[in-house]
Amino acid sequence: MSKTIRLSGIAYESLVNGPGMRRVFFSQGCNHNCKGCFNPDTHDFNGGEEMDMDELIQDVLGNSMIRGVTFSGGDPFERAYQFSYMAKIFKNNKLNIWCYTGYTFEYIMSHLESNNAWKELLSNIDVLVDGRFEEDKMEDGLKFRGSLNQRIVDVQESLKHNKVIKFKEYEIK
């Protein structure tokens, strides 16, 4: 029996959703409804298309140009069970994983004990771009995020220290 995930779309070769050539999976479904969201089509949980996760995974692993995977949205944490399944396989295959969410790292951490899928997803993410998009904090030239309030979090270091450690590889404006 195949496993499926509801996606709003896929960017097959992206250079703007994290470092290097990446495959980007856009989750279908978001409860944040941020004013000015650049992707409002992803909010409806019933929109998009059901896709076979194993086929999506094999397609990524079969492309030697892909250096990493990004989960965007919608909000991937709304489909954490499915994204954690994919993330674990990608991580085992040495791919770098970035994830965008409207939730803050602190909010996610405070809900891990009651949400195993969030815990599993977070444990397989390298970088989390967290926080809701805030239209009044949008600024041209921000790298890998839409508004100044969003942080680029080094997830594994943050988990080790139990506090937010910003990803240092990039200068953050």
Which domains does the chain possess? Answer: 4-161 (3.20.20.70)
- pLDDT over threshold 60, residue 1: no
What value does the mean pLDDT take over residues 114-120? 94
Q: pTM for the complete prediction?
A: 0.93
- Name the strands in the sheet holding 127-130, side by side, starting at the edge strand that comes first in the sequence: 49-52, 4-14, 22-27, 68-72, 96-100, 127-130, 151-154
Q: Compute the distance between CA of residue 73 and CA of residue 8 in angstroms, rounded to an integer.
A: 8
- 158 within 8 A of 132, measured Cβ to Cβ: no
Q: Residue 173 pLDDT > 50, yes or no?
A: no
* pLDDT of 171: 45
